[in-house]
Amino acid sequence: MASTIPPSSQTASLVHRLAGPSINKAGLAKDQSEINRIIAEVSKGSQFYENEKKKDRELTARIEKILKERDAVIQGADLEKIEKKVDHLIAELEAERDLSQVIVHVDMDAFFANVELLHNPELKGKAFGVGKGVLTTASYEARKFGVRSGMAGFVAKKLCPELIFVKINFSRYSEMSKKVMDVFRQYDPNMAPAGCDEGYLNITQHCQDNGLTPDECVEQMREVVFKKTSLTVSAGIAPNKMLAKICSDKNKPNGQFHLPFSSPSVREFMRDLPIRKIPGIGRVSERLLDSIGIKTCGNIYDHRAILFLLDKQFGLHFMLRTYLGIASNVVIPHQREERKSIGAERTFSPIENTDAIVAKLEEVAEELESDMADRGWAGRTVTLKYKLHTYQVFTRARSIGKWITKKEDLLAIGKELLQPELPLKIRLIGLRVTKLRDLRDTSSGIKREDERMSAEAMVDADEEMLEGAEDNTAEHQSRPLNQDSSDSASRYKPQSTTGQAPPSTSSRPHTSTSSRPPTSTSTSSRPPNSASKPHSQAADERAQCPVCNKTLMSVSATDNQGLNAHIDFCLSRSAIVEAQGQASIGSQ
């Protein structure tokens, strides 16, 4: 049963990887083999190509290791007995299925592109993309050529020579997003935005109160959105959030799909569904699962004994719930107290001039100051993030003894973290603040909190759980809910505002069982030209790793070398797996 995988240069895996994370976007050709070939050909020789090639080799080696482990564990294993045990577990999970709630996932169609069409009607019927260096979205006319979000501009131009580049206008999208979300909240005041152009609603109560069927309700909602904004929205109607999100893509653009609310219907729907369609399963997970024969959700059952034996690598419970189509049906808006970090970053053509890099850092600090003021946050730990021209990502962090909100402080710490790394040639730089304090919380002020922290210098009072680092398009970044980032452009989308905590109602589900896909891994190392140097830090201040959330006891008051070394270590695959304490198959 042993398998040998040829080097990435001799397989289709690299070509598939180079195609990017957005290959399932609506409007793209079903057969993308020629498009993918062109993307690979155009990318050859670039730093991006070499970085992706390296990652593909690493993933190939990882698969080899998993296959050897599979071959070892099945030796002498009673597969029939294991299958019966898993069948019993499936029956238990099936008993948890809740079909009582009507969940809707709404997703604006090519949102940025269609907003630009309203502003410039001359773009109608033309192939255009929003953004230039990296596209945030593409019109449906451009998608026919294979152009998609997260794609480099020069690659998009090769696929579609007539492509028009349109400048990003965040204020325009934010204004329209507010109008759209206001409509959605008329149908569920506690709807949960999942970005500026999509969200989840529980319309159970609204349908009951207004004598509407789910289809009538959603059709009415879509009509209201179009009437108020001239924008179209697609929707999925299903018993839980995972299914609703999948269904919203079925009849795009400007359509809706209602999955029947019965166990047999859901299981039939899931059986032939490509595993990549599952929120939380990206390029890496797809290839790992494919290596053990899982291409569709139905294949999960076929290989349930192997998944049981390789639970640590693949996460048996998550896979079984995916097979059954069981997921959370709880829809609540984001809560302020759940916020773990706030940040800003800039992507640009590679630069190596120190003054130019510092100027970009100053722009980031200014934006971050504005965001922290608008949203009412202060923080104690600042993390510098930069991406080399080779697409490798690195972070450096520093914790200080006071709450900071101002550009001057952010820039000073950012420059202090940047200085030891120079000289650099980078294409992205960002700042993120963690260990947050809610300035809108009147129960205690910053001064009072500073005094308490000083008195309890060796106690980590906040115990903040930071979001895990993940590896997606050569970057580690936080993820919402159970999803991979669909593309590198998604992080540029403006965030929607959310309401207060929802009151308890009888129409809401009383219980929920959350299910997370196995988390992905990230590998990064210190660039050759950078050496760790001491950074000042407040006396007796403990530092928290922004990757694994661990509070470091050994970081001295005047030296941040230990913290940076720890962060580098956490960015390795094994450290992240250990820190998050769960099975990992990698979502990318």
Catalytic residues: 198
Q: Strand, helix or coil at 585?
A: coil
Number of CB atoms found within 10 A of residue 393's CB: 20
Amino acid at 292: I
Q: Report the C-alpha gap between 232 and 495 in whole angstroms.
A: 20
Q: What is the separation of C-alpha 142 from the centre of its chain, rounded to a whole number of angstroms? A: 24
Q: Report the C-alpha gap between 105 and 256 in whole angstroms.
A: 10
In this structure, what token pair is assigned to residue 585? 């198959």
Number of CB atoms found within 10 A of residue 2's CB: 9
Beta bridge pairs of residue 310: none
Strands 256-258 and 128-130: unpaired
In this structure, what token pair is assigned to residue 566? 């720890």
Q: Strand, helix or coil at 125?
A: coil
| Closest alpha carbon to 381 in 457, 462, 448, 454 | 462
Beta bridge pairs of residue 192: 200
3-state helix, strand, coil in the chain (%, to 5): 45, 15, 40
Strand runs (DSSP E) across 454-522, as ranges?
none
Beta bridge pairs of residue 237: 104, 258
Q: How many residues does the chain have?
A: 588
The 8 Å CB, 24+ separation contacts for 209-216 are 214/102, 214/104, 214/258, 215/256, 215/258
The helix (H) or strand (E) run that includes residue 400 is: strand 393-404
Strands 198-202 and 137-138: unpaired
Amino acid at 289: L
Alpha-helical regions (H) of 96-169: 111-119, 140-143, 153-159
Termini Cα distance of the chain: 28
